[in-house]
Every structure is written in structure tokens, then in C-alpha cells.
């Protein structure tokens, strides 16, 4: 690395990340998306070190560990946008190629019946559908900072980070006019099947019965082939009638990877395929752990109701500001130390998580995503069990907080969105609820959790509380009929119906918190008085509810009643 290059810093990022993850129907989609994102970041880090030399990567830490690799990369030296973009697209296109060729080689449809990819005579002239996705799936952003003689390292790294944020304001994206019918998941992107791209499949034209049968056969064969990796597949392949007989007889857990009635776009299909061990090995991407099982949420025959599941999404508070704070005279060293600690924590958190309780889908350090569920039908996760797990979650980062405080004098806190969702709520909607709940927790002061209960109708109730005060919900008093939350819930509903409890001014009648506080005192052991008279700022209403106004206090108590009854009631 030249002296001039050594005085420069480059920050790299790419998008979309959240959108890529959240467009998902199955748990397998989430893992597939996470594996792809980590792999692409891993390859960018690998390329940066090869171009700039060993030790040039400042953040993230653990650059040899692919799993959980974040998509924001800081390196010492000047890395051109062309290198970054070419690396990302090359690796993504290789993933697409391996997945596409595996399908073409393994489901018994002759090669000359595939129209979804570029032919040899079209190279350099016309892209196929897979090649379009290879070129236009990602936005690449690069920011640079360079030392002047009077500048410090702090201004250089800070300048690079600010330059990246400025460049992200300008989109780096090209839209594609897809043809054919739309994916059943996104509703916008074209369905991936062997006839995608055929000339006479013009936009707006409905498929003929024969074409629909061709598409159905494609997805049935794909589902059948993926379900049993050890099956020796030899021609002739089963026809559509035979495959439906196999499905009806429930052989081989039919539809484990792809349900035959699904219609996926190219990236949606790729997210499924990379979780198949043979394809993952061919790419060099991590495989799913052994014994992976999907979430069984919907009711089966003979069951009256489906299963509720808990989903959690967490993120470190103001990490960007903390990174800028660390860039002092020893900025490189401090940033590396911080990134290493965060990645080590993320790996430990995922490794320690009990598979009997669910899965951590992604833990890149300061952000994580996971789900609480059990594969055994007769042992579902109960709402109180989910809350008790959430209550103990801050213990997971206590050691990390202590280490960062001692080594870097840095206070690290996390905000989490936790969603307890009914069986009919689509997974992609659940993930959006998680994101909104996490954002709401941050908006009220950070270092807290928003618990959102989402019903099958799509309606929801939520309650936000600082981690330090989450035990409030466990203080439910036994003064009136034990811990039967129905007493409190019914009393509270009655007061609201009589307008004794109100959340906004009506006919010049101002909001009054006194009755709401009296309910807290009655059911929660004088909790209302404790908060009202607290001398410590962290125990006052502004810290707990995010505001000291009567409206905020009454709303917070209402949310406590609604969520407490849903998660902690013994009735």
C-alpha cells in the first residue's frame, strides 16, 4: 500500500438489505437471504484485503468468519467503486449461475425448452431474465476520506462515513420491465420458470391452459427433486399426475423446500436454493445447520387453531455516533476492537441460543433477528414463556456492555422490537411489524423494548418499556382474585366505556391521569405512586413512558393492560 493510499479510508455498503430479507414466506427464505448477504460481504472483505494488503480491513472484525458478516465495511486505503461493484456483481452472478444450472440439470426438462437465460448467440447483445437480475439486484455505495496535513485520523474516517451517507442519498438502481405473471410472494416480479423470457409471452397476456400446466409441472418437479437430496434421479421423470399422487400420499414431506403451488421470482427461488447443501457447497456459502425445521404455524387437520410465534429484531443504539466517537488518535485500533467485540458477541449469542426454543436467523453484531417456536406440535411456545425469555434477554449483552465500557469507555445499549403473532399473519408482515416496533422503541428513548401483539386480523396492541423496568409487568398484585389479568382488563375496559379513562380532550374535558394511576396502585402494588414521586430521572414518567404528559402516561398504562393480558394472563 502506498503512503498516499495509507492516508485514505474507504467505507463500503450495498442495498437493499432489509427488503431482501423481509420478502420472505418461509423461515428458509430468511436463512437463505441472510446467508447470501453475509457471503457477499465476506467476498467484498476478501477482495479489499487482496487489493490493499493484509490488515487493511478495520471493520468488521473476524474477517475469516463468513457467518453474520455485516454489509458495512471500513478499510484503510483507497478502494475504487469499480472494484467494489465488479466484486459484488461477480459473486452474485456466480450464485445465480450455479442455482440456475442446478435447476436446468436436475428436474428433467430438456435444455432447449429453457428460455429464461441468455443464449450463446445473445452474449454482448441481449440479456436474459437471470442476467438482468445479475446486473440490477443491488445498489453499491462507496465513501472516501483522505488526510490533509492538518487533519487527524478522526476527520478522515468521519469524512469517509459522511461521504458514504451523502452518496446513499442518490439511488444506484435501475428498474426492469419484467414480463409474464407476477410472483405469488412479491406480487411484482416475474415468476421464475423455464418459459420465462419466451418471445410470445408478452406483458399483459394471460397464460394458456397448456402453459399453466407447464409451469405447474416445473414447480412440482422442483419440489419433488429438492425434497430428497439422496434420491437417485434417472429418466423418465415423474409426470404431473404421478407427482400429485406422491403429494397426496404425503411421501417424503413433499414441498419441504418449495411448495408446488408457490410461484417464486428469480431471487426468491435463489434464497431457497442456497439452503440446499449441494448448491451451498458448490457456491462456497455456509449451509443450514443439521436438523433445520420449518415453522408449523397453520392448523392441521383435527386442530382447532394454529400456533402463535414470537419474533425479535434488535439493533444497537446510535452505533453510527459511537463509531465516530471511537475515531481518535488510535481510531483504527479502537474501531477494530469494537467491531471484533460486537461480532464475537453475535456469534456467541447465536451459538448459545437453544434450538428447543427457536432460532437466531442473523446476528451480525449490533443487530440481530430471530424467532421463538417449537417444531413439536404438542409443545408450542406459550405466551408467558415467550415473555419470560424476553425478560431475560438483556442478560445476553451484560458482559459485552461491561467489556466495552472498560476497554473503550463506551456505553452500549440495544433496542428491540418483539412481535407475538397469530398463525395467519404472513411472515413478511411479521417482519415489518418487528421493524416498526424496533423503530418505535428507539423513538421513545432507546434502551427499551416494544412488545407488539399482532392478531390474525392484522390489528395489534403494543407496549414500550425500558429494559430496566420490564419487571413492572410481573408486579401484578394478588389483591384482587390472584394474578387473573381478566379482572384488570375488564375493569379497565369498563372505565374506558364510561369515558372515565380517556386519551384525548373531549368537549374541553382535559385528560386526567389520576384514575389511571389509582389502577396502577391497586393492581401493581402502589406502582403509580412510586413513579409519580421518584427522584431519580430514570424512574420517572419521562424515562419510562417517553413523555410526562397526561396523554402519554394514560396511553402507556393502557398499553400495559392490553399487552399484559395477552402475554401474562393465566386465563
What's the mean pLDDT in 549-562? 95
pLDDT band at 151 (very low <50, low <70, confident <90, very high): low
Query: For all residues of the chain together, what is the average pLDDT?
Result: 86
* Residue of 229, 231, 233 lying closest to 278 (CA atoms): 229
Q: Yes or no: say if 343 and 68 are a contact pair by the CB < 8 Å rule.
A: yes
pLDDT band at 467 (very low <50, low <70, confident <90, very high): very high
pLDDT, greater one: 246 or 400: 400
pLDDT at 499: 86
pLDDT band at 157 (very low <50, low <70, confident <90, very high): confident
Q: Do domains 3-283 and 304-467 have the same CATH topology?
A: yes
In the chain, % of residues over pLDDT 70: 87
d(CA 369, CA 38): 14
For residue 396, cis peptide bond before it (omega within 30 degrees of 0): no
pLDDT at 142: 94
pLDDT band at 421 (very low <50, low <70, confident <90, very high): very high
pLDDT for 481 beyond 50 = no
Written as one string, the DSSP assignment of 144-206 is EEE--TT--HHHHHHHHHHHHHHHHTS---------SSBPTTTSSSBP-STTTT-TT--TTPP
Q: What is the dihedral of CA 93, 183, 368, 58, to 10 degrees?
A: 20
pLDDT for 65 beyond 80 = yes
**For the whole prediction, is pTM greater than 0.85?**
yes
d(CA 446, CA 438): 9
**Roughly how many angstroms between the first and final C-alpha of the chain, as a whole number?**
67
* Residue of 309, 381, 428 lying closest to 30 (CA atoms): 428
pLDDT, greater one: 229 or 92: 92
pLDDT for 32 beyond 70 = yes
pLDDT band at 569 (very low <50, low <70, confident <90, very high): confident
Half-sphere exposure of 541 (CA within 13 A, CB side): 18
pLDDT at 4: 52
pLDDT for 182 beyond 70 = no
Q: Yes or no: say if 388 and 421 are a contact pair by the CB < 8 Å rule.
A: no
**What's 38's DSSP letter?**
H
pLDDT at 300: 64
What's the mean pLDDT in 315-342? 82
Backbone phi, psi, residue 109, to 5°: -100, 125
* Residue of 243, 263, 262 lying closest to 251 (CA atoms): 243
Q: Which CATH entry fits the domain spanning 304-467: 3.10.270.10, 3.30.70.270, 3.10.620.30, 3.30.470.10?
A: 3.30.70.270
Question: What are the domain boundaries of the chain?
Answer: 3-283, 304-467, 476-571
What's the mean pLDDT in 494-498? 91
Q: Provide the CATH topology of domain 3-283.
A: Alpha-Beta Plaits (3.30.70)
Which range (2-6, 258-262, 355-359, 428-432) has the least confidence?
2-6
Q: Yes or no: say if 196 and 129 are a contact pair by the CB < 8 Å rule.
A: yes
pLDDT at 94: 97
pLDDT at 306: 84
pLDDT at 256: 83
Amino acid at each position: 500500500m502506498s503512503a498516499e493510499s495509507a492516508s485514505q479510508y474507504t467505507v463500503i455498503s450495498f442495498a437493499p438489505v432489509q427488503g431482501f430479507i423481509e420478502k420472505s414466506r418461509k423461515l428458509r427464505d430468511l436463512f437463505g437471504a441472510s446467508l447470501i448477504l453475509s457471503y457477499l460481504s465476506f467476498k467484498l472483505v476478501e477482495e479489499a484485503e487482496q487489493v490493499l494488503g493484509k490488515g487493511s480491513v478495520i471493520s468488521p472484525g473476524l474477517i475469516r468468519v463468513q457467518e453474520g458478516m455485516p454489509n458495512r465495511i471500513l478499510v484503510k486505503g483507497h478502494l475504487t467503486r469499480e472494484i467494489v461493484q465488479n466484486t459484488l456483481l461477480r459473486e452474485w452472478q456466480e450464485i445465480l449461475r450455479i442455482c440456475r444450472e442446478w435447476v436446468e440439470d436436475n428436474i428433467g426438462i430438456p435444455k432447449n425448452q429453457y428460455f429464461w437465460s441468455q443464449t450463446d448467440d445473445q452474449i454482448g447483445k441481449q440479456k436474459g431474465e437471470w442476467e438482468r437480475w445479475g446486473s440490477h439486484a443491488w445498489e453499491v455505495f462507496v465513501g472516501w476520506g483522505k488526510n490533509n496535513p492538518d487533519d487527524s485520523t478522526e476527520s478522515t474516517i468521519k469524512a469517509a462515513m459522511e461521504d458514504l451517507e451523502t452518496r446513499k442519498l442518490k439511488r444506484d438502481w435501475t428498474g426492469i420491465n419484467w414480463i409474464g405473471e407476477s410472483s405469488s410472494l412479491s406480487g411484482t416480479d416475474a415468476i421464475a420458470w423455464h418459459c420465462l423470457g419466451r418471445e410470445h409471452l408478452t406483458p399483459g397476456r394471460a397464460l394458456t391452459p397448456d402453459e399453466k400446466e407447464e409451469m405447474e409441472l416445473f414447480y412440482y418437479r422442483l419440489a419433488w427433486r429438492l425434497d430428497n437430496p439422496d434420491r437417485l434421479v434417472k429418466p423418465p421423470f415423474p409426470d404431473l399426475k404421478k407427482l400429485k399422487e406422491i403429494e397426496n400420499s404425503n411421501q417424503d414431506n413433499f414441498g419441504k423446500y418449495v411448495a408446488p403451488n408457490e410461484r417464486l421470482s428469480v431471487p426468491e427461488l435463489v434464497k431457497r436454493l442456497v439452503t440446499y447443501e449441494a448448491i451451498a457447497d458448490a457456491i462456497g456459502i455456509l449451509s443450514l445447520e443439521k436438523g433445520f425445521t420449518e415453522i408449523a404455524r397453520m392448523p392441521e387437520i383435527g386442530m382447532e387453531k394454529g400456533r402463535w410465534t414470537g419474533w425479535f429484531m434488535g439493533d444497537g443504539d446510535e452505533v453510527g455516533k459511537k463509531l465516530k466517537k471511537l475515531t481518535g488518535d488510535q481510531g483504527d485500533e479502537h474501531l477494530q476492537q469494537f467491531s471484533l467485540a460486537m461480532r464475537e458477541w453475535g456469534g456467541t449469542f447465536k451459538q448459545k441460543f437453544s434450538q428447543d426454543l427457536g432460532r437466531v436467523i442473523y446476528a451480525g453484531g449490533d443487530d440481530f433477528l430471530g424467532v421463538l417456536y417449537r417444531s413439536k406440535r404438542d409443545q408450542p411456545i406459550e405466551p408467558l414463556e415467550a415473555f419470560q425469555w424476553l425478560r431475560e434477554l438483556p442478560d445476553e449483552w451484560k458482559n459485552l456492555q461491561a467489556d466495552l465500557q472498560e476497554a473503550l469507555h463506551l456505553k452500549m445499549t440495544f433496542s428491540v422490537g418483539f412481535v407475538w403473532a397469530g398463525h395467519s399473519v404472513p411472515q413478511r408482515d411479521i417482519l415489518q411489524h418487528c421493524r416498526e416496533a424496533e423503530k418505535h422503541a428507539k423513538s421513545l428513548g432507546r434502551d427499551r423494548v416494544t412488545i407488539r401483539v399482532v392478531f390474525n386480523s392484522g390489528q395489534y396492541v403494543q407496549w414500550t418499556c425500558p429494559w430496566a423496568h420490564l419487571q413492572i409487568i410481573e408486579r401484578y398484585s394478588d389483591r384482587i382474585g390472584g394474578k387473573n389479568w381478566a379482572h384488570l382488563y375488564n375493569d379497565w375496559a369498563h372505565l374506558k366505556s364510561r369515558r372515565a379513562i380517556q386519551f384525548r380532550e373531549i368537549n374541553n374535558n382535559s385528560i386526567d391521569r389520576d384514575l389511571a394511576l389509582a389502577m396502577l396502585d391497586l393492581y401493581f402494588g402502589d406502582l403509580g405512586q412510586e413513579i409519580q414521586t421518584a427522584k431519580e430521572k430514570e424512574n420517572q414518567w419521562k424515562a419510562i413512558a417517553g413523555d410526562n404528559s397526561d396523554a402519554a402516561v394514560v396511553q402507556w398504562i393502557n398499553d400495559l393492560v392490553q399487552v399484559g393480558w395477552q402475554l401474562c394472563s393465566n386465563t
